[in-house]
Structure 1
Amino acid sequence: MKPGLLLISHTYAALENRKKLQALGAHFDLVCVTSTLEQRMVLGRPSSDFDSENDAPVRSYQLIRLPRRGRTDTTFLYEGLGDIMRARRFDVVLVENEPWAFVRWQAWFWKALLQRQALFGEFTWENVERPGWKGAVLAAVYRAMTGTTHFIIAGNQAAARLVQKRGARAVDVLVAPQLGVDLGNHQPASPAERAALREACGLPAEAFLVGYCGRLTEEKGLRELVQACESMKNVQLAILGSGKLEGWIKEQQQQRAWLHLLPPRPHFEIPNFLRCLDVFVLASKPVRSMTMCWEEQFGHVLIEAMACGVVTLGSSSGAIPEVIGDEDAIFPHGDAQALAERLGQVMTNGGPMARRQLERTRTQYTHDAVAAAWAGFIQTKLAA
């Protein structure tokens, strides 16, 4: 009989992300609580582009949607969560959110009251410490979190170090991705497929094509990416997404025929964009201030690009080096010249790197591989 797992996370309001749940359902009698279908904009697109009930007939788990009460992803509560915990017995309750998130403490309260026999776990991405008074307050929050969990899954190595610094035992912490990648729709394109995909995107068929997709913000290193490509010959750059730098990119596009800005797309269309590319670049750089303190926590698009057989380069920021796992693919963040040098090396001979990265994705980053890592760790905690 499979252990009962209650997983609480707004992440699975996205249809593509629920493929991980399908894999996790092979290991657990799984109930997932996520958010109700919402009417809002996500990356410049209606949220309905990212979520639907199309997967309902084939789910290996139970999905329960609850309304959110609160403004942001860390300041909301789920209406009716207590009723879910009253309804049946669970062996494990696991929340995917940060230590200071309201829903994390809401879930812990109901677990302590109604599911005393269950283990309580948390998945966290946070990989930086805040300066000043915010850091002091969060240090206390972290100690409270580590004191009220049986296990922690950390989305990167820095997150694992952070929770251990605040009281978690190393044996109770697993470093693993939150999500994997679907190899069914992320796979290398043949030359003919790539040409057709480029034509559909309005991109040049024969050019050496560098690309990025995601949020168009300062911390994603887009200025350095444009600067690096500008210093090279016979390179085209395609950027897909929306965000605060969209206006700046449009201005640059007017002066540079080699720069292409594409509108945002829903999850299921992203693989076709990635399969157009010769190189994908995530040039993120850290931000440190009282208003924003951030480094790349994983960069899921990295493993999506790698799964598509596209050479994938990343900066030295945050978790990017450990995700890519290839020193030859890493350049110092904020250094456009170093990025241009990496691009030049790939233009000369990028095939071996692409093959290494594809194999890494197939062995470590599929939904099945991520689910198996989570399940093996949780089951050792249940057996302890």
Structure 2
Amino acid sequence: MSRPLRVLSIAHAAVSREAGRLRYAPFGGRTDLDVHLVVPRRWHQFGRAIDADPPDDPGIRVHVLPTWLPKAGPMGWYLHIYPGLRGLIRTLRPDVVHLWEEPWSFVALQASLLRGPAGMVLEVDQNILKRLPPPFEAIRRFTLARTAHVLARSPDATAVVRAGGYAGAVTPIGYGVDTRTFRPRTESGPSDVLRLGYVGRLVVEKGLDDVLDAMARSRVPTRLAIMGEGPHAPHLRRRIAELGLERSVTFAPWAAPAEVARFFHACDAVVLATRTTGAVREQFGRVIIEAQACGVPVIGSTCGAIPSVVGPGGWIVPESDPEAMARLLERIAADPGERSARGRAGLRNVAERFTYEAVADALAQAWLAAASAVSPSNERLTPGAFCAGNQD
């Protein structure tokens, strides 16, 4: 019997349905794809342990597997592997193996060794080129040499895999946003204070010091609400006291997505002022599209992918430039019409580029291209042609 294209996607980020797994939901309505998803039973990230959501997602088959080395040493999640992966691949015999993992990770090496005749697709975020210590540089080159297609989060991420020896096709891919949770607010009443928000890790690279300095320099009353946790929090509190901003800045811990959406609804603008360092260049900035989906414009820095993701739905200031940000705050505080216009542009930006349907389309195109690249005739396949030409 003919069958649809069988894909095995491996993604630690899909451990939670509230985060990475939602982008697989659109495949539930497709008959040309048989999508299987591997996620870890438990994932450790940023000091938190996340247990996998139940594997009952409609339209796809989720395999919740234990991992080895889930949080080993300073390399974090790059060392984990799935001891049950060999048996699963032998059972499924996938046409494509897709990894939402970096090419130097142990799980990417594991999949490239076990995939058999399946075409391999890598989805990459890393956007800073650096030579990796042994054995990771060798793993990167080994994996990229066996990859049929790359999905890249940014042009910088493409440049990194090219430098690692990859010469094949690349498809751009963004993140998706859950527009059922992050949705436009009802119009809020006028305020005599410009209300800024930040959601994310409290680390020095995120540039919150620059935001505080801009608030202190600005001639308009501004408040900043911070949601998140991290090692830079004590320094930020001291800096707030030094600048006399104790009544202008509030802190809140991590919260569920619905609470984050309500947090955005109380903001006039959201800030993401990341600074470039030797180890950090903003790879995407998911908070940007979550805020924009709520109709809230974003003030972003020039770091990494931020300007491209923000698009017309906000403003860009030079990174590490509090004076430029202070002048922008004064301008937008005086012009609520501009804030509203940028908020509407952000909604369009999300609808055109960052829905889960758009992400699913990019995934499907890459999977089909990878299957075509490893087919005996090396012909470009359509879903219907693949179903007719592959037998169980």
Q: Name the CA distance, whole Å, in 1 between partners of 2:134 and 2:80.
A: 23
Code of the residue aligned with 2:9 in structure 1: it is L
- Name the structure 1 match of 2:97: 93
Q: Name the CA distance, whole Å, in 2 between partners of 1:109 and 1:188.
A: 46
Code of the residue aligned with 2:254 in structure 1: it is P
Code of the residue aligned with 1:30 in structure 2: it is V
- Name the structure 1 match of 2:39: 34
2:296 is equivalent to residue 310 of structure 1:
yes
- Name the structure 2 match of 1:125: 125
Structure 1 residue runs of 5 or longer lacking an equivalent are 196-204
2:177 is equivalent to residue 175 of structure 1:
no
Identity %: 27
Shift of residue 269 of structure 1? Answer: 2.5
Q: Name the CA distance, whole Å, in 2 between partners of 1:327 and 1:316.
A: 15
2:175 is equivalent to residue 187 of structure 1:
no
Residue 236 of structure 2 aligns to a residue whose secondary structure is helix
Q: Name the CA distance, whole Å, in 2 between partners of 1:58 and 1:180.
A: 17
- Name the structure 1 match of 2:233: 246
2:201 is equivalent to residue 215 of structure 1:
yes
Residue 242 of structure 1 aligns to a residue whose secondary structure is coil
* Bigger Rg, which one: 2
Q: Name the CA distance, whole Å, in 2 between partners of 1:342 and 1:105.
A: 47
User: Does the 8 Å contact 2:196/2:267 carry over to 1?
Assistant: yes
Q: Name the CA distance, whole Å, in 1 between partners of 2:176 and 2:113.
A: 30
Q: How has the CA–CA distance of structure 1 residues 60 and 280 changed in structure 2, closer, same or farther, with 3 Å as cutoff?
A: same
Residue 188 of structure 1 aligns to a residue whose secondary structure is coil
Code of the residue aligned with 1:60 in structure 2: it is G
User: Does the 8 Å contact 1:24/1:372 carry over to 2?
Assistant: no
Shift of residue 275 of structure 1? Answer: 1.8
Code of the residue aligned with 1:227 in structure 2: it is D
2:249 is equivalent to residue 259 of structure 1:
yes
- Name the structure 1 match of 2:383: none
User: Does the 8 Å contact 2:183/2:293 carry over to 1?
Assistant: yes
Code of the residue aligned with 1:162 in structure 2: it is V
Q: Name the CA distance, whole Å, in 2 between partners of 1:376 and 1:175.
A: 11
Q: Name the CA distance, whole Å, in 1 between partners of 2:350 and 2:195.
A: 22
Residue 109 of structure 2 aligns to a residue whose secondary structure is helix
User: Does the 8 Å contact 1:180/1:367 carry over to 2?
Assistant: yes
Moved more, 298-307 or 371-380: 371-380
- Name the structure 2 match of 1:20: 23
User: Does the 8 Å contact 1:74/1:103 carry over to 2?
Assistant: yes
Q: Name the CA distance, whole Å, in 2 between partners of 1:153 and 1:13.
A: 20
Q: Name the CA distance, whole Å, in 2 between partners of 1:346 and 1:26.
A: 43
- Name the structure 2 match of 1:52: 53
- Name the structure 1 match of 2:389: none
Q: Name the CA distance, whole Å, in 1 between partners of 2:167 and 2:239.
A: 50
Quick one: which of 359, 369, 379 aligns to 2:368? Answer: 379
User: Does the 8 Å contact 1:154/1:160 carry over to 2?
Assistant: yes
User: Does the 8 Å contact 1:45/1:264 carry over to 2?
Assistant: no
Code of the residue aligned with 1:369 in structure 2: it is A
Quick one: which of 2, 5, 29 aligns to 2:4? Answer: 2
User: Does the 8 Å contact 2:198/2:225 carry over to 1?
Assistant: yes
- Name the structure 1 match of 2:305: 319
User: Does the 8 Å contact 1:12/1:34 carry over to 2?
Assistant: yes
Q: Name the CA distance, whole Å, in 1 between partners of 2:305 and 2:230.
A: 22
TM-score normalised by structure 1 residue count: 0.86
* Superposed CA offset, 1:47-83 (max 9, x none): 35xx533xx5452211111112112210111121111
Shift of residue 25 of structure 1? Answer: 4.0
- Name the structure 2 match of 1:353: 342
Q: Name the CA distance, whole Å, in 1 between partners of 2:85 and 2:11.
A: 12
Q: Name the CA distance, whole Å, in 2 between partners of 1:294 and 1:231.
A: 27
Moved more, 271-280 or 18-27: 18-27
* Superposed CA offset, 1:214-268 (max 9, x none): 1000011110011112222211101110001111233345542011111111334
2:323 is equivalent to residue 337 of structure 1:
yes
Q: How has the CA–CA distance of structure 1 residues 327 and 186 changed in structure 2, closer, same or farther, with 3 Å as cutoff?
A: closer
TM-score normalised by structure 2 residue count: 0.84
User: Does the 8 Å contact 2:270/2:299 carry over to 1?
Assistant: yes
User: Does the 8 Å contact 2:108/2:143 carry over to 1?
Assistant: no
* Superposed CA offset, 1:249-293 (max 9, x none): 3334554201111111133432121222110010001111xxxx1
Structure 2 residue runs of 5 or longer lacking an equivalent are 373-379, 381-392
Shift of residue 46 of structure 1? Answer: 5.8
2:105 is equivalent to residue 105 of structure 1:
no
User: Does the 8 Å contact 2:8/2:36 carry over to 1?
Assistant: yes
User: Does the 8 Å contact 1:13/1:37 carry over to 2?
Assistant: yes
* Superposed CA offset, 1:12-38 (max 9, x none): 112212110112444421111111035
Residue 21 of structure 1 aligns to a residue whose secondary structure is helix
- Name the structure 2 match of 1:282: 272
Code of the residue aligned with 1:127 in structure 2: it is N
- Name the structure 2 match of 1:270: 260
Number of residues of Structure 1 aligned to a counterpart in Structure 2? 356
